Amino acid sequence: MWLKNATYQLFSFSNRLRVAICCSILIGGSLFSTAVLAAPAIIPRAPEIAATSYILIDAKTGHIIIEENADEALPPASLTKIMTAYIAVEEIISGNLSLSDQVHISEKAWRMEGSKMFVGVNTQVSVEDLLRGIIIQSGNDASVAIAEHIAGSEEAFSDMMNQYGELLGMSSSFFMNSSGLDTELYYNTMSARDLSLLAQATIERHMDYYPIYAEREFTYNDIRQSNRNSLLFRDRNVDGMKTGWTDAAGYCLVASAERDGMRLISVVMGTVSEESRAIETQKLLTYGFRYFETHKLYDSNQILTNVPVWSGAQSAVDLGIQEEVYVTIPRGQAESMQATVDVDEVIRAPLNDGQIMGVVSVTLDNDTVFSGNVIAMQEVEQGGIFKRLIDWLTLLFSNLFAG
């Protein structure tokens, strides 16, 4: 950890105590200040992306690296099916559905136009096959079949989609069908930002099922179809997610890739061709991997510093952070970060284990990359009457003679 060999300076101001944790590393037995040694980050201008809307985020942190018109509600075409698959997997996780369940194929599902899995009317198809038909083959028939099986009708399933969208914070999305197929009267709407949130939730919550997005082909009914995400065939770092196209939407692509411990999610909407959506996505991913990194800032329950405690059974308490923290920073700049812990100047017992004591802020080039609560890492009981008296007198005389 970059704070392992930290040095500390104390500053008193406005009844607060600021602990400056200066980033240092041990090299060849000598202590060097990396804030001095590290060169400033030089990041070129982001690439021009030929799309109506796009966004690139760090999947681990949610940090937005690049975006343009990311909140514009647009027709998503078959990108809709990411939500359809998401709900199906949520139903599996909750125990309402299983991969082996057999789904009846209605005439409505069978008659769906556009991309198909080619299921037969009044046949039974497993949930597992339908998931692959939705994700790999982009089957409109498979989407309607799973929607009807889960909710009773596609209309009721659309209500579920909107409820899930609200839970995920997808504020620019509205669903009217499970496939994304446009009609003369309506089409679904989603924004690039909403799609990145949905992709991030899919990767985080559905890791056991996410590998389906990386499968290059699927055969059903003796009909073999290749995954429409061409980046799976040309970039070994890409392992999902989904393509889309209609006249209204243009060519769209949500992609995710992992390299050197960093996972990126990109969304492009409204490009002019299949090749264009792949090229523009590749630009985003290349830029993100080349100039940024996901850095682990803190371990869970990591101690950051130790501060005095007055009137306590012990004279000091460790302060730390409860959950592990990752940040997205310019590549090679981890050692330039500086952290300060801001707590009350006078801390009195008793203290509870886990009690919020202040805030830690981490900056890079005067920009805050993280700010979060610091907590007491152990309980501190109140000291005996003699200890409390001595501490009270010490504080009293300190205030009398201060300044």
**What amino acid positions are annotated as catalytic residues?**
78, 81, 138
Question: Taking CA 92 as the corner, what is the angle to CA 89 and CA 98, rounded to the nearest 5 degrees?
Answer: 120
Buried b (16+ CB within 10 A) or exposed e, 99-111: eebebebbeebbe
354 CB burial (10 A radius; 0-12, 13-18, 19+)? middle
Instruction: List, in sequence order, every residue forming a beta bridge with 255; answer none if it has no partner.
Output: 241, 266
Report how far apart, in Å, the C-alpha atoms of 340 and of each of 5, 37, 56 are: 15, 20, 30
Q: Put residue 35 in one of left, alpha, beta given phi > 0 → left and psi -120 to 50 → alpha.
A: alpha
Tokens for 397, please give them: 């005389």
Other CB atoms within 10 A of residue 396 CB: 10
| Backbone φ and ψ of 221, nearest 5° | 60, 35
CA separation for the pair 320, 252 (Å, rounded): 44
Helix, strand and coil content of the chain, in percent to the nearest 5, comes to 30, 35, 35
**Cα-trace Rg, the chain:** 27
Strand order, beta sheet including 250-259: 64-68, 53-58, 262-271, 250-259, 238-246
Q: And the tokens for 76?
A: 């998503």
Q: Where are the beta strands (DSSP E) in 196-261?
A: 217-220, 223-226, 238-246, 250-259
Distance, in Å, from the CA atom of 21 to the CA atom of 3, rounded to the nearest integer, reads 7
Report the alpha-carbon distance of residue 331 to residue 329 in Å, rounded: 6
DSSP string for residues in 278-296: HHHHHHHHHHHHHHEEEEE
Q: Whose CA is closest to 229, among 182, 176, 175, 266?
A: 266
